[in-house]
Amino acid sequence: MSAEPGRTPPASDPTDALRRQCTIHVSGHPLQAPGEELLRVGAWCREHGHHADSYGRGDLVAGFESRVASLLGLPAAVFMPSGTMAQLVALRIAVVRAGVAHVGMHPTSHLELHEERAYAHLHELRVSLLGPRHRPLLADDLAACPERLAALLTELPAREIGGRLPAWDELVELSALARSRGIHLHLDGARLWEAREAYAPRTHAEIAALFDSVYVSFYKGVGALAGAMLLGREDFIAEARLWRRRQGGTLVQLHPFVASAAMRFDDQLARIPAWRMRARSFAAALAAIDGLVVAPSPPEVNLFHVHVPAAVGALVSARDRVAAEDRAWLAQNIAAADVPGWSRVEIYVGDSLMRHDDAEIVPLFRKLVALAQGSS
């Protein structure tokens, strides 16, 4: 199709094209062919007799909400098109009820780093950043906050610091302190499915019981098209449905996103223990490469960071060269590390890495490091 008169055609993304031609992918889940997921969703809906919903009303959506609420031991749930919306809704309800527009969160919270400060621009919330960046949020950090907070948001596991988690006793202590101060404790559970494995044999419901509201994601570990869920008390979720509509999230049809999550939900959660074991063995193999530092070591969940003694630009160039020469995509997320001149690579072990063993992947990382240091 030709471009409209007077408009420049969208430029193709050479990095994305390079990534898609690779046959080896380390992080996440395998890439799908265009339209493959939509075909799967259609076939699954026909097989199970599901029909399209109408503005979130229908058996498929309600059934999945009930299914996840039961797993987490919470009274009610509402499907949301995005986690960004779900968490802002949770905080907005909490501050309205408390009568104070002030919330707390960790300095590496997704809301602070990756959402263009939507909490301030859309809901006029003030935020106190609690605790140091290098470790999870703890009760001592809340105790040191002199401000009156309506809500406290904590993330399990904390992605930006390598998937770290507080110890179970520390989490219980944080929950008790928040409740004693009348603070709504909200869980950023984008990776709650992964966190539960680290807290085993404790269940999802035992974790969720420590919080007043919980958000979970379906496109990360579960690998669905998109979507999230917000869970809590029935009155809280009734308000959340109202705020979903106010923020434009009650789409005329939500079922493609819900079906994409529901049809793979149980199978993907069942794979997480194996992903975590694979993450630990792979991290140990990478740590044996001269110069590489794995953090945390060992990984607490199936996500961890690898610190590389090379600048970001050099590492990106090396990654692209390995991709072109070996058809292997070793790193999607590369960022500057805290140490000057070093870079940080995020590794999320999912279905992709389960297809490959260390003998195949580790030499490619050795090549990556050599190339990056040679061009630094």
- Is the same domain home to 241 and 210? yes
Report d(CA 258, CA 233) in Å as an integer: 21
365: CATH:
3.90.1150.10
Q: Determine the structural domain holding residue 23 and report its residue range.
A: 14-32+266-375
CA quadruple 47, 50, 52, 56: dihedral, nearest 10: -140
**Per-position DSSP letters for 284-301, written without gaps between them:** HHHHTSTT-EEESSS-SS
| Residue 34, pLDDT score | 83
| Residue 10, pLDDT score | 47
Is residue 72 situated within a structural domain?
Answer: yes
- Is the same domain home to 136 and 19? no
Q: Which residue reads 């940080």 in tokens?
A: 344
- Is the same domain home to 19 and 67? no
User: Degrees (nearest 5) of the Cα angle 94, 95, 99?
Assistant: 125
Give the chain's end-to-end CA distance (angstroms, integer): 43
- Is the same domain home to 58 and 156? yes
Is residue 2 situated within a structural domain?
Answer: no
Structural domains in the chain (count) = 2
- Is the same domain home to 94 and 205? yes
CB distance 279 to 349 below 8 Å: yes
Is residue 44 situated within a structural domain?
Answer: no
Report d(CA 252, CA 240) in Å as an integer: 17
Report d(CA 52, CA 58) in Å as an integer: 7
| Residue 84, pLDDT score | 97
The SS3 assignment for 155 reads strand
Residue 145 burial (C-beta neighbours within 10 Å; 0-12, 13-18, 19+): middle
The sign of the torsion formed by the CA atoms of 254, 260, 261, 263 equals: positive
| Residue 7, pLDDT score | 44
Report d(CA 65, CA 71) in Å as an integer: 10
Residue finishing a domain among 252, 284, 316? 252
- Is the same domain home to 180 and 110? yes
Residues 6 or more apart in contact with residue 51 via CB below 8 angstroms: 45, 58, 59, 60, 255
Residue finishing a domain among 227, 252, 277? 252
| Residue 33, pLDDT score | 87
- Is the same domain home to 121 and 213? yes
- Is the same domain home to 302 and 230? no
- Is the same domain home to 104 and 235? yes
Quick count: other Cβ atoms within 10 Å of Cβ 356?
17
- Is the same domain home to 248 and 111? yes
Tokens of 39: 């075909």
Before 201, cis peptide (omega within 30)? yes
Residues 6 or more apart in contact with residue 39 via CB below 8 angstroms: none
Residue finishing a domain among 252, 277, 297? 252
Tokens of 136: 């999870």
Whole-structure pTM over 0.85, yes or no?
yes
| Residue 240, pLDDT score | 98
| Tens digit of each residue's pLDDT, the chain (376 residues) | 344 434 444 455 788 999 999 999 999 999 888 899 999 999 999 999 999 999 999 999 999 999 999 999 999 999 999 999 999 999 999 999 999 999 999 999 999 999 999 999 999 999 999 999 999 999 999 999 999 999 999 999 999 999 999 999 999 999 999 999 999 999 999 999 999 999 999 999 999 999 999 999 999 999 999 999 999 999 999 999 999 999 999 999 999 999 999 999 999 999 999 999 999 999 999 999 999 999 999 999 999 999 999 999 999 999 999 999 999 999 999 999 999 999 999 999 999 999 999 999 999 999 999 999 996 5
Helices (H), the chain: 14-20, 36-48, 59-72, 83-98, 110-113, 118-123, 139-143, 168-180, 192-199, 204-208, 234-246, 255-262, 265-287, 312-326, 358-375
Residues 6 or more apart in contact with residue 274 via CB below 8 angstroms: 354
